[in-house]
Amino acid sequence: MTILITGGAGFIGSNLARALSASGELVTVFDDLSTGSLANLEGAEIHEMIVGDIRDLESVRQAVTGVDVIYHLAALPSVQRSVSDPERTHHVNVDGTLNVLLAARDAGVDRIIYASSSSVYGDTPTLPKHEQMPVAPLSPYAASKLAGEAYCRSFAHAFGMKTTCLRFFNVFGPGQDPDSQYAAVIPRFIARMLAGDPPEIYGDGTQTRDFTFIGNAVQACRLAAAAGQRAMGEAINVACGERISLLQLVELLNDTLGTKIQPVHSHPKDGDIRHSLADIEKARDLLGYRPLIEVRDGLAQTVQWFSGRMSPSDRGSLRVDQAS
């Protein structure tokens, strides 16, 4: 099978590329490398690497030629980035998604899996979040992801295209970049705590998340590509179905590291969601999905990966903390 992964040099995309290529699939990666990196693809047997912009329809048309399945993961990530630059977020996430759908329709691509986000639910008090509840995006990023879902659904109904949208909840794991100003919370916490520094929490730390290990996200992508007709045009939660506060996350990381590092607190960020927990029954029903790796085990694997890539000087203060 011939696969195209847009955003394939990013965190989720590169992990998916490794898994698919290891199974013998012919994988092409399309990425502009603005947030992804070729280094992320280490260990993946890539058939073709296309450096291109998802906003350029002709480039996308060339990339989809002869493709059976598209995993459309290309996006400009981060709630905070979208607040500071909503126009670029729209062009990449919305116009880019429309380009993929148009090119796929005209090329006769069999199936498209679209990476959406739990942020589309907004800060509604109802927990767990289920796919039948009203959506209420609070940031341009969330709005752009919801618009992409709407386009996928409309192409499924108007043109009979096999599209499925996966609403990922706080994906984490080895390979995630802790250095970006838009880095996700887990790689930021791990990098700081490995160096013996306190993790920074925006707010009081009682906010909760449904953290999803990367292996579970990759599994969901592959299941969606093989799903039956009932999954077509649908939006489906992908998570662990477990609610953990940021303060509890620090405790779990201290347990894993053998440390007792206390966090520091800063002002909350604009657009952040207070609480998040997924109902994953629809994913079980339509995809046969269940989380294979729980949060604690995923954190241990992630800490091990980061630890193996930090120099002894970076970790010197950690040894002092552990000895004290």
Q: May I ask the CATH architecture of the domain 2-172+213-238?
A: 3-Layer(aba) Sandwich (3.40)
Q: What is the DSSP letter of 48?
A: E
- Measured over the CA atoms of residue 59, residue 62, residue 63 and residue 69, the dihedral's sign is positive
Q: What pLDDT digit, counting tens, does each position of 256-299 carry?
A: 999 999 999 999 876 678 899 999 999 999 999 999 999 999 99
Q: What is the DSSP letter of 70?
A: E
Q: HSE of 159 in the Cβ direction (CA atoms, 13 Å)?
A: 20
Three-state secondary structure call for residue 25: coil
Q: What pLDDT digit, counting tens, does each position of 43-59 carry?
A: 999 999 999 999 999 99
Q: What is the DSSP letter of 185?
A: H
Q: With beta carbons less than 8 A apart as the criterion, state whether 171 and 209 touch.
A: no
Q: What mean pLDDT is predicted for residues 138-149? A: 96
Three-state secondary structure call for residue 116: strand
Q: What mean pLDDT is predicted for residues 181-189? A: 85
Return the minimum-mean-pLDDT range out of 27-31, 175-179, 312-316: 312-316
Q: What mean pLDDT is predicted for residues 222-230? A: 97
pLDDT of residue 191: 94
Question: Could you give the CA distance from residue 73 to residue 83 in angstroms, rounded to a whole number?
Answer: 20
128 to 120, 169, 237, 272: CA distances (angstroms): 14, 12, 11, 17
Contacts of 79 (CB under 8 A, 6+ apart): 119, 139, 141, 142, 269, 270, 271, 272
Catalytic positions are: 141
| Domain range 185-209+242-275+293-323, its CATH number among 3.90.25.10, 1.10.10.10, 3.20.20.80, 1.10.287.3510 | 3.90.25.10
Q: Give residue limits of the domains in the chain.
A: 2-172+213-238, 185-209+242-275+293-323
